[in-house]
Amino acid sequence: MNWSEICNVSYSDNRTIVNAVVSTEPSVVTGTRGTAYNYEDFVLTADTLTIDTMKVTPIFIDEADRAQQSYFKQMEIADFQGRKINEKLENALLANHGNWTNFGAGDLANTSSDDTVQITVSAANIDDLIRALKRKIYAANGLELATQNGFFFVWRPADYELLEGFVQA
C-alpha cells in the first residue's frame, strides 16, 4: 500500500480540516538602486475539507463463536479490516491517475514535453527511464520541489520485475 507515502495524509479527529494554499504568488521583478518598487500581494486561500463520508468494513462477529474458537482472534479481524480499507484507498488513488503528470515514450526519447504514449519497458531501457525522468525534473526546475516532497513512479508488476533485475545486476 503506497497511498500514504504518495499523498499528503493528515489524520484527524476533527470534522473540518483547514489548510492554507498560496493562490497568488508574487513574481520576481527587476529593480534599480535608489528607485522605489511596489509590493505585490501574497494571497492565501483557505482550503477547507469537511469529512462527511467514511469507509467501513463491517463484520458481524458472534462473540460466543469467537470465544469458543482459537484460530481467529479479534486483532486478526481488525488487521484484515485495515488491509481492506488500505486496498480501497490505494484503488482510489490510482483511479485518479488522469490528474498526474504523464511520462511517455516521447519523454523517454526527448522528442515530446507532454507525452501519453505508453513506454515499452525492457531490461535495456530501465536505466534510460530513470535518467530521462531526472532530465525532465531538472528541465522543469522541479529539483527543489522533488527534493522537498519527493516523486514517485507507479510501475506495472512486469515492469517492476525488470527494474528489480536491473538493480540486482
Average pLDDT over the chain, rounded to whole?
85
Q: How far apart are CA 157 and CA 154, in angstroms?
A: 9
Q: How far apart are CA 29 and CA 16, in angstroms?
A: 38
Check whether residue 93 and residue 12 sit in a common domain. Answer: yes
The position carrying cell 497511498 is 3
Check whether residue 41 and residue 120 sit in a common domain. Answer: no
Domain boundary among 46, 64, 98: 98
Task: Encode the chain (169 residues) as per-residue pLDDT tens digits.
Answer: 778 887 878 788 899 999 888 887 788 889 999 999 888 888 888 889 898 988 888 888 888 887 787 777 778 888 999 999 999 999 998 888 878 777 888 888 888 766 778 888 888 888 888 888 888 888 888 889 888 888 777 788 888 888 888 888 8
In sequence order, the 6+-apart residues with CB closer than 8 A to the CB of 162 are: 121, 122, 123, 126
Check whether residue 85 and residue 126 sit in a common domain. Answer: no
Q: Which residues pair with 77 in a beta bridge?
A: none
Which pTM does this prediction carry? 0.63
Q: Which domain holds residue 105?
A: 101-168
Check whether residue 94 and residue 109 sit in a common domain. Answer: no
Check whether residue 74 and residue 106 sit in a common domain. Answer: no
Q: How far apart are CA 45 and CA 23, in angstroms?
A: 6
Q: How far apart are CA 167 and CA 169, in angstroms?
A: 5
